[in-house]
Amino acid sequence: MTGGTRGIGRAIVEQLLELGARVLVVARTQPDVDNAITELGVAGVAADVTIAADRARIVAAARAHGPLHVLVHNAGTNVRSPLVGYDDATIERLIAINLTSPLLLSRDLHPLLRDAKDASVVHVGSVAGLTALPTGVAYAAAKAGLAQAARTLALEWARDGIRVNTVAPWYTRTPLVEPILADPARLAAILARTPLARIAEPREVAAAVAFLAMPAASYITGQCLAVDGGMSIQGLAPT
Ligand SMILES: NC(=O)c1ccc[n+]([C@@H]2O[C@H](COP(=O)([O-])OP(=O)(O)OC[C@H]3O[C@@H](n4cnc5c(N)ncnc54)[C@H](OP(=O)(O)O)[C@@H]3O)[C@@H](O)[C@H]2O)c1
């Protein structure tokens, strides 16, 4: 479980624990990982998913726990800017965390997923990868790539009993988007675009991830489930 110490990731960890899973939490900040270990009773690795040596430590820690039944790629971030405002490093960092790292980690964990015989990989994407939003092209393109990667891997790994799906949230109340939600004008614009007229709570995104991880979703693979209060199906808002 990458990015499991706060926000959506923390809610996913809590739901997986409620369902009886043993969870390995990955995030960069050691004290936050230590808190998760103490407060939730999980295992933890302080590691940056964009660094190869850190990914090797994640794989080693996962291997110590045996077959891997559920892999959730949730670590992600965004820097909002028009394309011409990005420097090279920022574009590369956004693609690395949101797209390249999940692919590399999935590849390296494939033997453990295959050994589980009935495994589920869940990508936490974004509606920014499904439709055009003024959110920054690097993030949007990476999240679109992540949803497509789920489709391609679902096909590739079906024979190994590994399902691969994406959950695509819209605005969800987490530290990542706190500054945006604190701006009354931006919040009003988001709510006007959301048929359910509210921001998602992290547990509502986590519920979709947990469902796709469970045997209840055993015939679902290669899909992208938007958890967006109806944002992506709205054609013309009622006036
Ligand atoms: N919140 C939203 O409105 C929203 C909407 C659509 C999609 N999403 C997606 O949902 C996911 C979770 O978002 P969130 O809002 O919960 O974010 P968040 O509150 O910023 O939490 C991000 C989590 O990922 C970890 N993380 C960040 N970079 C990492 C790295 N390089 N290596 C390992 N762990 C890393 C963070 O811990 P450390 O900082 O300690 O590493 C933290 O545990 C992201 O993929 C995001 O793109 C969020």
Ligand 1 centroid–CA 124 distance in Å is 9
What does the pLDDT look like over 140-171, one tens digit per residue?
999 999 999 999 999 999 999 999 999 999 99
Q: Which residues contact 226 (CB under 8 A, 6 or more apart)?
A: 127, 130, 168, 169, 170, 232
Is 30 touching ligand 1 by the criterion CB < 6 Å? no
Instruction: Tell me the residue range of the domain where 19 lies.
Output: 7-226
Query: What's 32's domain CATH number?
Result: 3.40.50.720
Distance 127 CA to ligand 1 centre (A): 15
Structural domain contains residue 11: yes
Task: Establish whether residue 177 lines the binding site of ligand 1, counting it when its CB lies within 6 angstroms of any ligand atom.
Answer: yes
**Which is the closest atom of ligand 1 to the Cα of 7?**
16
Q: Are 25 and 44 in contact (CB under 8 A)?
A: yes
* Separation CA 113–CA 107 (nearest Å): 10
pTM of the model: 0.98
Structural domain contains residue 166 = yes
Does 232 fall in a domain? Answer: no
Whether 239 is covered by a domain: the verdict is no
Annotation says 219 is catalytic: no
Q: What DSSP assignment string belongs to 8-66?
A: HHHHHHHHHHHTT---EEEES-HHHHHHHHHHH--EEEE--TTSHHHHHHHHHHHHHT-
Return the structure tokens found at 189. 């614009």
Within a domain: 26: yes
Q: pLDDT in tens for each of the 239 residues of the chain?
A: 999 999 999 999 999 999 999 999 999 999 999 999 999 999 999 999 999 999 999 999 999 998 999 999 999 999 999 999 999 999 999 999 999 999 999 999 999 999 999 999 999 999 999 999 999 999 999 999 999 999 999 999 999 999 999 999 999 999 999 999 999 999 999 999 999 999 999 999 999 999 999 999 999 999 999 999 999 999 887 77
CA 221 / ligand 1 centre spacing (Å): 24
> Which parts of 41-160 fold into alpha helices (H)?
52-64, 88-95, 101-116, 137-157
CA-nearest of 93, 28, 100 to 58 is 28
Looking at residue 66, what is its pLDDT?
A: 85
195 within a domain of the structure (yes/no): yes
Residue 238 lies in a domain: no
Domain count, the chain: 1
For residue 4, which atom of ligand 1 is closest to its CA? 43
Catalytic pick from 86, 139, 171, 219? Answer: 139
Query: Exposed (0-12), middle (13-18) or buried (19+): which is 84, by Cβ within 10 Å?
Result: exposed
